[in-house]
Amino acid sequence: MRTYGCQMNVHDSERLAGLLEDAGYARVPEGEAPDVVVFNTCAVRENADNRLYGNLGHVASVKAAKPGMQIAVGGCLAQKDRAEIVRKAPYVDVVFGTHNVGSLPVLLERARIEQEAQVEILEALDVFPSTLPTRRESAYAAWVAIAVGCNNTCTFCIVPALRGKEKDRRPGDILREIETLVAEGVIEVTLLGQNVNSFGAEFGDKLAFGTLLRACGGVDGLERVRFTSPHPASFTDDVIAAMAETPNVMPQLHMPLQSGSDELLRAMRRSYRAERYLGIIERVRAAMPDAAITTDIIVGFPGETEADFAATLDVVRQARFASAFTFQYSKRPGTPAADFPDQIPASVVTERYGRLVALLEEISWDEAKKQVGRSVEVLVAAGEGRKDVATRRLSGRARDNRLVHFVPNPDVADPRPGDVVHATITYAAPHHLVADGPASVPRRTRGGDAWEAAQGRPAPTGISLGMPTIGVPA
């Protein structure tokens, strides 16, 4: 399984893996040629097409040497390109879209029997992904989709055309899934939606997202709740109150800015302005002074003037982001902005991008330095790895989602992924913290128990992400 793009794609890939295992497939040991390769694609990230076809070319040579091997392509790029994928890469066996991930095992079997490529793209969701079996990459942390699709019309974004209109799950179904996950040992969930805080619009409850956050606080054994990504236009004070008043909702907010220029926000069809955005941040910090706020910013959107870019820098200075995903604008076929006049020369975009990144690095480091001397709660992570053998450092995430490299307590066994330690920060870098004094004795958790129990099963083959985890800079 190879996954590109957003957390929704990662969640879908876990469902695809669960479907395949349910159908009798098993993860191939590392280094061996598989019988099935699945590419779950993204159409938003830069050079998404080139990445896919380049990787397909590499796999084609493996398939040529292994009769019967199948290649499947799904996700947003499949939804967009459809049969064009088979035309460009005739060795692909299955193409499926964002609305029918549940069809993959049947399509693979049909392609095998009929000895020809199967292309099936639905125009609307048939089964909500979270009703499908899953093979989670983490034993102690899980994604929970509360909505799919998007009702916005941002001029730079093709997601609504590929994921469809927003469709909300019923709150009871979401809570039942969370309770089931917790019973399996999960102690951290991340609620997912293209515009996660507009949850409830489909069934007419504008307060549904805040209510859901509070309900998560009542799930016994659930220690950490996160969500991504909210839209500033839909961000309401009841959500801020729910975050501040619900102990297991983490003091972390990832809220896309895109631009600090009101003129560009209008051209992007982003239905908020810089003043509203900064007002949300001000109210979040008033309720949660230690909250870490991260964002997305686009540089070089068509028509961006030096004054527009200066407005973005000004918002960045006021917002004091802990980190940001930064993107140089590039045309996406099928989006209105691709045909806008006044496309910005690449050299100008690159120069502005450099200035933005430099400012963000400076601010991120200044904000990180405020953590020095503080004792932070760290959820030990699998996959983050030891920083180095000489220092014995392990890694994990603080409550505000900052990455922490810490030295485990030498008097007890190392904590397991999913366990919790407290560590005092001794050094800050722009994108990680270091705690070189020995951490506390680990608190063994049900999440650590779940990780330990999972060690007997085959290891995942690895997922290649098109973007890093929220909180880690691009």
pLDDT digits (tens, 9 = 90+) for 192-209: 998 999 999 888 899 999
- Based on its alpha-carbon atoms, the radius of gyration of the chain, rounded to whole angstroms, reads 22
Do 326 and 227 belong to one domain?
yes
Average pLDDT over residues 84-110: 94
| pLDDT reading at 461 higher than 50 | no
Do 349 and 385 belong to one domain?
no
Domain that holds residue 30: 2-120
Do 243 and 382 belong to one domain?
no
27: left (phi over 0), alpha (psi -120 to 50) or beta: beta
pLDDT in tens, 322-372: 999 999 998 888 899 999 999 999 999 999 999 999 999 999 999 999 999
Q: State the pLDDT at residue 422.
A: 98
Split at pLDDT 50, 70, 90, the class of 438 is very high
Do 116 and 29 belong to one domain?
yes
Q: Which pair of structure tokens corresponds to residue 346?
A: 């690449």
Amino acid residing at 107: L
Peptide linkage before 229 cis (omega within 30 of 0)? yes
Do 213 and 90 belong to one domain?
no
456 located within any domain: no
Average pLDDT over residues 281-296: 98
Q: Which of 335, 368, 401 is the last residue of a domain?
A: 368
Do 195 and 234 belong to one domain?
yes
Q: State the pLDDT at residue 21.
A: 93
Q: State the pLDDT at residue 45.
A: 66
Q: Which of 24-33, 307-316, 321-330, 396-405 has the lowest mean pLDDT?
A: 24-33
467 located within any domain: no
Average pLDDT over residues 153-177: 91
Do 279 and 387 belong to one domain?
no
Q: State the pLDDT at residue 233.
A: 95
295: left (phi over 0), alpha (psi -120 to 50) or beta: beta
Amino acid residing at 277: Y
Average pLDDT over residues 379-391: 75
Q: Which pair of structure tokens corresponds to residue 221?
A: 């054994």
| pLDDT reading at 472 higher than 60 | no
143 located within any domain: yes
Do 249 and 383 belong to one domain?
no
Amino acid residing at 346: A
| pLDDT reading at 390 higher than 50 | yes
Q: How many domains does the chain have?
A: 3
Do 385 and 362 belong to one domain?
no
Q: What CATH number does the domain containing 50 carry?
A: 3.40.50.12160
426 located within any domain: yes
83 located within any domain: yes
Q: What CATH number does the domain containing 201 carry?
A: 3.80.30.20
- List, as one string, the DSSP characters of 33-81: PPSEEEEEE-SSSTTHHHHHHHHHHHHHHHHHTSTT-EEEEEEHHHHHH
Do 185 and 279 belong to one domain?
yes
More confident residue, 162 or 305: 305
Average pLDDT of the residues of the chain: 91
Nearest Cα to 376, choosing from 403, 393, 398, 406? 398
337 located within any domain: yes
> Number of helices (H) and strands (E), helices first, in the chain?
14, 19
How far from 169 is each of 130, 131, 143, 173, 213, CA to CA, in Å? 9, 11, 14, 7, 14
Q: What CATH number does the domain containing 395 carry?
A: 2.40.50
254 located within any domain: yes
Do 336 and 216 belong to one domain?
yes
Do 427 and 322 belong to one domain?
no
Q: Which of 120, 144, 174 is the last residue of a domain?
A: 120
Q: Are 150 and 166 in contact (CB under 8 A)?
A: yes
Q: How far apart are CA 311 and CA 297, in angstroms?
A: 12
